[in-house]
Structure 1
Amino acid sequence: MVTISNTTLPPEYFWSGRTLDTITGVDKTREILFSISIVLCIALVWLSARPKLKVPILLSDTIKSKKQRVHEYAFPNQVFGIDTKDGTKVVIPLSFLDNLKSHPHLSFKACIDNVSIDQPSAINTMLTLDQDMLLEYTLLGGPPEYVIHAIRGSLTPSLRKLDACGNIQFCSTSSWTCSARAFHGDIPSQNPEWLEVTTGYVVTVFDSIKALKKWPPYLRPIANRLLPYRAKIDHQWAKARKILAASLKQKASLGGKAINEPPSLFDHLTSEKSPASKESIDKQLIYQMTLVAVGTMSTFSTVVQCIYDLAGFPDFIAGLREEALSCPRDEDGLFDKDSLNSLKKLDSFIKESLRLSSGDLTTFHRAATADLTLPDGTFIPKGTKIETNTCAIHADNTKFENATSFDGLRFYKYRQKPAQEHKHTLVAVTPNDLAFGFGKHACPGRYFSQIVIKIFLAEFLINYDVKCLPGQSRPKNLEFEAMVDPDPEAKVMLKSINTHS
């Protein structure tokens, strides 16, 4: 036997090749494991002591379609939860929206960004908000507040000047460049490489989200390495970085003056009003790619849904075409803001299309950044996500006559009533019209988006007839979780017409 510091060790330790260092290392490992166990125990006790979310819970796997959400799971006056792979989402009734629309502890940005709740670091990762856009994999998140302020305060007031940017010889080019012009500028909007990179990124992001959400969150880091999308995103961002670097260099050569007239959003975000980001290629890259993904996808989806509705409900085409042909134009014969404001029937048609084929089955997406209590007394723990069941609201016969039937002039008729002229426009947001969201986080880009959509559809109506294939009706939408997309594989029939002869 050998004695070390009053500790007697059997000879087997030395015959097995174990040394004093090994013994000491084992003790240290045990201390570390013991410390981790203590921290975890404290975290579990802390978590178990916190008030719990107590609402009726539905399993997302049992909700297969919009129809079920509308007819079986509407619960118009009750708070309930939907259990998803990303945690429980609390669905609130419509009556709560006015009370919660400006709540200081409900954040839209936290719903989609990789934002951790401010908790002790030992349990921080256990309370991370789930991300609908999977930011850590797609790099797509919500733009910072000052980007939203730039859209509202700088881009939106410039829309009258930007109207002419959307006028094109219809279908003379394969790419729609109006959004690129508004977001980045004249030169990038004519650069095929920029258009290819940004539109490609849009497709890759949403393909990536759909693929990764099939995996439980703890397996997504592994799945992300096996799927091809991250490599595509890295390649697209690398190419976009080079183009943005050229734009920043051009801006510097002009002494910081705007490159474009009217200024693009890039000009505003690289001006003296944005000192923290005006020369940062990393920040400008995030802004541009996020704006392209969010703005382009929703606008494109709405345009396609409207074309499908024109094909499915052709009785509206003649009246819409006549309105587009007779609306006022500027001195160059182009659409301007006054032209678009006069397209009240088209405005109504687009709004009705959004009512029945909105890009989301739910809206008013928020995450609780602190514990709070709903108007009915329901406790919402910090980190909980809430939403409202938009598709059920839009299909409610107490709010819309024959709510499940398509009426392209529904909102046009509403606007003919006294004091209703501005209440039912495409960009208006009310508790009954939630396609653009509600409250202070309602879509800030909807004013620009409506310009692109209206010009495109007005030109489409003037130049084309459209109808469904023989024996077929309007193409059905595709649904993934709460997202709704037009079927990209669907076909409709187009015929070129000459309305000017």
Structure 2
Amino acid sequence: MALPLDIAQAPSLSTYGIAIIIAILLYIAKISSFKQRCLDRIPTVGGPSEPIVSYIGAFRFVRGARDLVHQGYSRYRGGVFKIARPDRWLVVVTGPKLMEEFRMAPDDVLSFVEATNDTLAIAYTLGPNIRENEYHIPIIRTQLTRHLGHAFDDMHDEVAAAFSDEVRPGGNEWIEIPGLEAMSRIITRATNRAFVGLPLCRNRGYIDLCIGFTIDVALGAFIINMFPTFLRPLVGRVLTRVPGTIGRGVEYLGPIIEDRLQKMQENGKDWAEKPKDLITWLIEDAQGEERTVRNWALRILTVNFAAIHTTSSSFTHALFHLAANPQYIQPLREEVEDIVGREGWSRASLQKMRRIDSFLKESMRYSAQGCLSMSRKALKPFTFSDGTVIPPGVYVNAAQAATHHDEEYYPDPDVFDGLRFAKGEGESSKQHLTSTGNDYVPFGHGRHACPGRFFAANTMKTMLAHLVVAYDVKLENEGVRPPDRWFGPVSSPNAKAKVLFRKRQV
């Protein structure tokens, strides 16, 4: 019987393979050509945009990203510009009109999740479970936020206890305290009072683990992203310390999780003494393969990572501003004592402390944690109203520091005014620390604004209110705020700077 097609006449496997390869290369060339055409139409800041020589701009970005973004913001305000990074082009959006279009872009076009996954190399640092299943985020947005009032007494108790342990001046003497290190410990304790409760939130080893995990993830992501994409899985396995940290986390958290599971089994879902904390909520919401002690421990450490780094940096910035400007201590102190004297310590009374709220908001405006915010990765072409096209694979950001220092939004923007947002009787919600807008983006803006910002604000306001009624503060070099440390687009408070504390003098 004759075959439908003589095998001898049929194209060989290698012919098919060559055809497929050619088709793929043509497709890549087409996509690359489209991407390059789009990028060529976007003005460049920092250096030439041609291949190879664009690394001049990338080097400048590593050394002075803040200045480059400010330069582009001033030159192309109301439009977009691009800056070379060592591994990619970065597009920066400016002006209220384009910012609004940017924040309203659909998630399947400009993706916050994919940008975050890439920036933190989550597939290799925190692992595929965290990348593919973010069930902890609705917990933060709902249960954690709803229980802030219920948990305030515990939060206030832990803040006071942590300050007493970390800041222990004797008599009228001033003592030097490493600002960032001490505030990180206090924030980690206060945060974990709501996450895991007593006594673990005061365990020194556990606190060190949580802080170390934050450093390990950030450093691991930085190292991994220095390598080409095809090498990252290998680098992620070899060079990061995160898996070992998770194992240590299981040692601390495992017994508590096992005990909680047993009590839930014995007493049902809603027994009277069930703790209202992160452990409970994670256990209740986890499904399928997430229901293991290791995965719950990883999830708790992941939420710690999100909470500790940003909150510690933000509060330390505020501490440095307060110590450099001690004239603010008395008005803040008077407000706290007046409100607490009439209403006691509660979340409701905390919300009435407009000066405390304003001081922290002004600190976050003035000393943003970086020159960029609201990172998105383009998954599909996106066209702005001015005709600018963002091709797939390109990262888009808002100009955070430049926006916060724009005199169109803030009078005297380069002057620190701790009561800027507390002036006038007609206070609007826009003045609040947790409010976001196109002119105020440390928490992001829009539907992807930080879900934990209410918890973070509650923690920082409690800390600042306690600090001003309990201590006097100043700097080693009085009145001179320690300079921030910059690396690329990221800013952090000076880790070596010390703050002088003494018991409040009556």
Quick check: 1:290 aligned with 2:302?
yes
Cα deviation, residue 142, structure 1: 6.3
More helix per residue: 1 or 2?
Answer: 2
SS at match of 1:173: helix
Which structure carries more relative contact order (alpha carbon 8 Å, separation 6+)?
2
Taking the TM superposition and a 5 Å limit, the aligned residue runs for 1:92-171 are: 92-95=93-96, 96-104=98-106, 105-113=109-117, 131-139=118-126, 144-167=133-156, 168-169=160-161, 171=163
CA 1:411–1:262: 2 relative to 1, 3 Å: farther
TM alignment of 1:343-422, pairs within 5 A: 343-413=353-423, 416=424, 418=426, 420-422=427-429
Please tell me the residue identity of whatever aligns with 1:67: D
Structure 1 residues 206, 382: CA separation in 2 closer, same or farther (over 3 Å shift)? same
Q: Is the 8 A contact 1:94 1:388 kept in 2?
A: no
Deviation readout 1:427-468 (Å, 9 max, x if unpaired): 001111111100000001010111111111111112221222
Q: For 1:30-429, what aligned pairs fall within 5 Å after superposition?
A: 39-50=20-31, 51-52=34-35, 53-54=38-39, 55-58=42-45, 59-63=57-61, 64-74=64-74, 75-95=76-96, 96-104=98-106, 105-113=109-117, 131-139=118-126, 144-167=133-156, 168-169=160-161, 171-174=163-166, 175-176=185-186, 177-211=189-223, 230=240, 232-256=241-265, 257=269, 263-271=276-284, 273-276=285-288, 279-328=291-340, 335-413=345-423, 416=424, 418=426, 420-429=427-436
Question: 1:392-437 CA distances to partner (integer Å, 9 max, x unpaired)?
Answer: 1111111110111100011111xx253x431210000111111110
- Give 1:479 deviation, angstroms: 1.2
What letter matches 2:382 in structure 1? Answer: L
User: Per-residue deviation at 1:274?
Assistant: 3.8
2:48 corresponds to: none
Over 3 Å counting, the alpha-carbon distance change for 1:261 and 1:329 in structure 2 is farther
Structure 1 moving runs of 4+ over 4 Å? 34-40, 140-145, 210-227, 258-262
CA distance in structure 2 between the aligned counterparts of 1:180 and 1:471, rounded to whole angstroms: 34
Instruction: Answer whether contact 1:426 1:450 (CA < 8 A) is retained.
Output: yes
Q: Which runs of 5+ in 2 are unaligned?
A: 1-11, 46-56, 167-184
Aligned position for 2:5: none
Q: Give SS of 2:377's match.
A: strand
1:235 Cα offset (Å)? 2.0
Equivalents in 2 of 1:160, 1:391: separation in Å? 32
The answer (yes or no) to whether the contact 2:116–2:375 under 8 Å persists in 1 is: no
The answer to whether the 8 A contact 1:143-1:287 is kept is no
How far apart are the structure 1 equivalents of 2:442 and 2:131? 18
Deviations 1:455-490 (A, max 9, x none): 111111122212222366101111122211001011
Matched residue count: 443
Deviation at 1:46, TM superposition (A): 0.4
Structure 1 Cα separation of the partners of residues 422 and 131 of structure 2: 33
Is the CA contact (8 Å cut-off) linking 1:465 and 1:496 kept in structure 2?
Answer: yes
SS in 2 for 1:364: strand
Number of the residue aligned with 1:25: none
Which has the larger displacement, 254-263 or 425-434? 254-263
CA contact (8 A) 1:301 1:359 kept: yes
Measure, in 1, the Cα distance between the counterparts of 2:338 and 2:217: 40
Bigger mean CA deviation after superposition, 194-203 or 52-61: 52-61
When the two chains are superposed, the root-mean-square deviation of aligned CA atoms in Å is: 2.8
Q: What TM-score do the two structures reach when normalised by structure 1? A: 0.80
Alpha-carbon distance in 2 for matches of 1:477, 1:151: 30
CA contact 2:473–2:500 (8 Å) conserved in 1: yes
Secondary structure at the counterpart of residue 472 of structure 2: strand
Distance change in 2, residues 1:306/1:99 (3 Å): same
Deviations 1:291-327 (A, max 9, x none): 1111011111111101100122222111112212222
Gaps of 5+ in 1: 1-29, 114-130
Q: Measure, in 2, the Cα distance between the counterparts of 1:417 and 1:375.
A: 38
What residue in structure 2 maps to residue 462 of structure 1? Answer: 469
C-alpha displacement at 1:219, in angstroms? 6.4
Residue type of the alignment partner of 1:134: A
The SS at the match of 1:366 is strand
Separation of aligned partners in 1, 2:342 and 2:133: 36
Query: Rg: which structure is higher?
Result: 1
CA distance, structure 1, for counterparts of residue 218 and residue 151 of structure 2: 28
Measured in 2, the distance between the counterparts of 1:449 and 1:383 equals: 32
Residues 214, 309 of structure 2: 8 Å contact kept: yes
Aligned AA (1:94): G
Give the aligned residue type for 2:282.
L
Identity of aligned residues (%): 25
Q: Is the 8 Å Cα contact of residues 434 and 453 (structure 2) preserved in structure 1?
A: yes
Return the alpha-carbon distance in structure 2 between the equivalents of residues 83 and 471 of structure 1: 39
Paired with 1:325 and 1:447, the residues of 2 have a C-alpha distance of 23
Q: Flag the 1:236–1:43 CA change in 2: closer, same or farther, 3 A.
A: same
Structure 1 contact 158–262 (Cα < 8 Å) conserved: no
Q: 1:369 to 1:68 in 2, by over 3 A?
A: closer
Does the Cα contact within 8 Å between 2:405 and 2:413 map onto a contact in 1?
Answer: yes
The letter of the residue matching 2:165 is T
Q: Equivalents in 1 of 2:71, 2:13: separation in Å?
A: 57
Please tell me whether the aligned partners of residues 361 and 433 of structure 2 are also in contact (alpha carbons under 8 angstroms): yes
SS at match of 2:164: coil
CA shift in 2, pair 1:211/1:296, >3 Å: same
Match of 1:435 among 418, 437, 442: 442
Change (3 A) 1:463 1:243: same
Give a deviation string over 1:104-134, Cα, whole Å, max 9, x none: 2222111121xxxxxxxxxxxxxxxxx1112
Letter in 2 for 1:266: I
State the TM-score, normalizing by the size of structure 2: 0.80
Residue 90 of structure 1, CA deviation: 1.6
Report the AA paired with residue 337 of structure 1. Answer: R
Q: Alpha-carbon deviations, 1:342-390, whole Å to 9, x = none?
A: 2110100100100011112111111223333223222222332211111
**1:210/1:480 contact within 8 Å kept:** no
Q: Supply the distance in 2 between the matched residues of 1:313 and 1:206 (Cα, whole angstroms).
A: 32
Quote the Cα distance in structure 2 between the aligned partners of 1:465 and 1:457: 12
Cα contact 2:250–2:293 (8 A) shared by 1: yes
